[in-house]
Amino acid sequence: MAQLSKDSFSAGDALMPVGAAVALLFDRVSCVEGVEALRLNEAEGRILARALTAPIDLPAFDNSAVDGYAVRFCDLSPGVETCLPVEGRAAAGHATEGGGAGKAVRIFTGAAMPEGLDTVFMQEDCRLLPGDLASLPPGLAKGANRRLRGEDISAGAQALAAGRRLRPEDLGLAAALGVDRLTVRRRLKAAIFSTGDEILEPGTPMRPAGVYDANRFVLHGLLKRQGVEVTDLGVLADNQGEIAAALRSAAADHDLVLTSGGVSAGEEDHVKAAISNSGSLVFWRLGIKPGRPVAMGVIEGTPFVGLPGNPVAVFVTFVYVVRPLIAALSGAQHEPARPLPVTSGFEYRKKTGRREYVRVTLRAGAAGEAIAEKHPVEGAGVLTSLTRTHGFVELGEDVTRIAAGDKVAYIDYDMIR
């Protein structure tokens, strides 16, 4: 299992800045052990364990970028049309025929450049005259439409860095280099459960004061998108002993344990007490809204995160706490979302000392600019404030007021899920 130092953080009731918490996570959490070699069609979304070095030049030879006619640039007449006899043919995957001084070669995309020829005219720019003469227009630069050997990547250069989450284009690059397998980190294993006497399983009858569990399904989907193997342990009642036992059991064979609910200051919030008694609590109040009550702990060396009970707060704290933690545990490069500047269509006030994420919908302004409109209902339990919006406006710790027309930092949900 992954290991987290028990003295990594100082617990306390002061708000911890999100950036400081994430920095501490990366400083203290160690990557899981275990790698496997996978075929390319199995490796998408996995974390590359070892950097890939290009074994060959790409492309492996000079070749044509277009269909047309290959020539020597020095055979062209400056500023006027040039006519050259067409002798020879070069097609992709076949040996080149013909070519030489004062000759043009019919060439096709991907074909190796004939020896001594350095420039390619696109066929639509040329005319083929009687007697197999190619009429070539003036004005083409030397080396035009010629792909040089190694211009994509040279043999010996790093093609993919260790820690990269493999994307389809990465797999394409590996394949183009002749590599059929990549060494990746093993998948993380996470256990999740919700807590609360009021929490009901979807599909069961509603009862007075009951609430259907949304959080586990949000977490399950977010974890799967991160390539994590998920064990769903269901719903636990508000019983400190049962919660402590479940935490210890889950920690024994998982790399990460996540719960939702039970981490605020109320008398019936038992997760914080259970983790304090069965492990080590390292921080539990973050300067983030929605989502302030977040517990981070260690149970027998396994990281634990206790997320808030409100589903929007679960989403936000997963994105800004759990995703970086998963990256650290899996040896991945953590790539924070890059906010895009948009225009605020709303006014907003906040306190200093905490980072806030305002749910917004984008619309086009009169000049085509992107304008962010705040969702009318802001509560941390309002799931439709996520399903009916496009993303967040991020307001830093020092921001106190936003006016309509101000430039703000927008983060689309598709950038962070």
The model's pLDDT over 334-344, given as tens digits with 9 standing for 90+, comes to 888 899 999 99
Q: How far is residue 169's CA from residue 159's CA, in Å, rounded to a whole number?
A: 12
- Angle at CA of residue 363, ends 358 and 365, nearest 5°: 120
Instruction: Check pLDDT > 50 for residue 323.
Output: yes
Q: Does some domain include residue 1? A: no
* Higher-confidence position of 295 and 186: 186
Say if residue 207 is in the same domain as residue 88.
Answer: no
pLDDT computed for residue 4 by the predictor: 53
Say if residue 191 is in the same domain as residue 222.
Answer: yes
pLDDT computed for residue 342 by the predictor: 98
Q: How far is residue 180's CA from residue 311's CA, in Å, rounded to a whole number?
A: 42
Say if residue 346 is in the same domain as residue 326.
Answer: no
pLDDT computed for residue 277 by the predictor: 74
Say if residue 280 is in the same domain as residue 215.
Answer: yes
Q: Does some domain include residue 81? A: yes
Domain with residue 80: its CATH number is 2.170.190.11
pLDDT in tens, 280-306: 777 778 899 998 888 888 888 899 998
- The DSSP annotation for 354-407 comes to SEEEEEEEEEE-TTS-EEEEE-S---TT-THHHHT--EEEEE-TT--EE-TT-E
DSSP label at 324?
H
Residue 311, by phi and psi: left (phi above 0), alpha (psi -120 to 50) or beta?
Answer: alpha
Instruction: Check pLDDT > 70 for residue 267.
Output: no
Confidence of residue 43 (pLDDT cuts 50, 70, 90): very high
Q: Does some domain include residue 13? A: no
Say if residue 263 is in the same domain as residue 241.
Answer: yes
Confidence of residue 13 (pLDDT cuts 50, 70, 90): low
Say if residue 44 is in the same domain as residue 177.
Answer: yes
Proportion of the chain above pLDDT 90, given as a percent: 76
**Which among 312, 330, 348 is the end of a domain?**
330
pLDDT computed for residue 6 by the predictor: 45
Q: Does some domain include residue 318? A: yes
Structural domain total, the chain? 4
Best CA proximity match to 321, nearest among 10, 16, 51: 16
Q: Which tokens go with 199? A: 């929490």
**Which among 147, 174, 199 is the end of a domain?**
147
Confidence of residue 10 (pLDDT cuts 50, 70, 90): very low
Q: Does some domain include residue 12? A: no
Q: Which tokens go with 338? A: 């890059």
Q: How far is residue 266's CA from residue 256's CA, in Å, rounded to a whole number?
A: 25
* Higher-confidence position of 296 and 200: 200
- The DSSP annotation for 218-230 comes to HHHHHHHHTT-EE
pLDDT in tens, 104-114: 999 999 999 99
Q: Does some domain include residue 231? A: yes
Q: Does some domain include residue 2? A: no
Q: Is 169 helix (H, G, I), strand (E, B) or coil?
A: helix
pLDDT in tens, 363-377: 999 999 999 999 999
Domain span at residue 166?
A: 38-57+162-185
Confidence of residue 97 (pLDDT cuts 50, 70, 90): confident
